[in-house]
Amino acid sequence: AARNTDRLINLVNDILDMEKLESGDLEFDFQTLDLSKLVAEAVETNKGFADEHDAIFILSETPPDVMVEGDGSRLSQVIANLLSNAAKFSPGGGEVEISIAQQNSVARVSISDHGPGIPEGFGDQLFERFTQVDSSATRQKGGTGLGLNISKSIVERHGGTIDYISEVDFGSTFFFTLPVSK
């Protein structure tokens, strides 16, 4: 019963966030943020989720002083969504690699898993509401199908982009980019 209650609470919260994003009512508190620190904190905060799914989060050495203008709690929400998906779809004992890179005026956060990958043909549909790769009635992974849609909206409100690359049977890498602070 507790697990179903948690799922329902997550669904309601996701729907509320999605509606607020679409209506423009979701407030953002933009500040200058150290992206490396933010990602490290998000990885630490979500380690329990990795443990629950028998996954291991590995944060690559990050470049210092990758500064962005953003809302720390909203960007942490994006990172948490990507980490939770990677953990859910990783095989038992699988590693989820997290990295940050900066090229010129763009910072990129990447989260890679070694799960089943995403079949060809999903394209941008994966970022639409209620989309799940395994939407069968016997689906084991849980989730609302809203996390990527919400993440895309948040990243775009920060002037960034979100996308993925995937190979069936080898895993997926989801990444988002943000403009670095001037």
- A 10 A CB-CB count for 20 gives 14
3.40.50.300, 3.30.565.10, 3.40.640.10, 3.40.1160.10: CATH of 2-179: 3.30.565.10
| pLDDT-derived band at 62, boundaries 50, 70, 90 | confident
- A 10 A CB-CB count for 138 gives 5
Residue 161: exposure state from Cβ atoms within 10 A (0-12, 13-18, ≥19): middle
For the chain, what are the domain ranges?
A: 2-179
- Over the stretch 114-123, which tens digit does the pLDDT of each residue have? 999 888 876 6
Lookup: tokens for 78: 């994006």
Share of the chain above pLDDT 90, in %: 58
Main-chain dihedrals φ then ψ at residue 48, nearest 5 degrees: -60, -35
Query: Which pTM does this prediction carry?
Result: 0.84
What is the rounded CA–CA span in Å between residue 91 and residue 89?
A: 7
12 vs 50: which has the higher pLDDT? 50
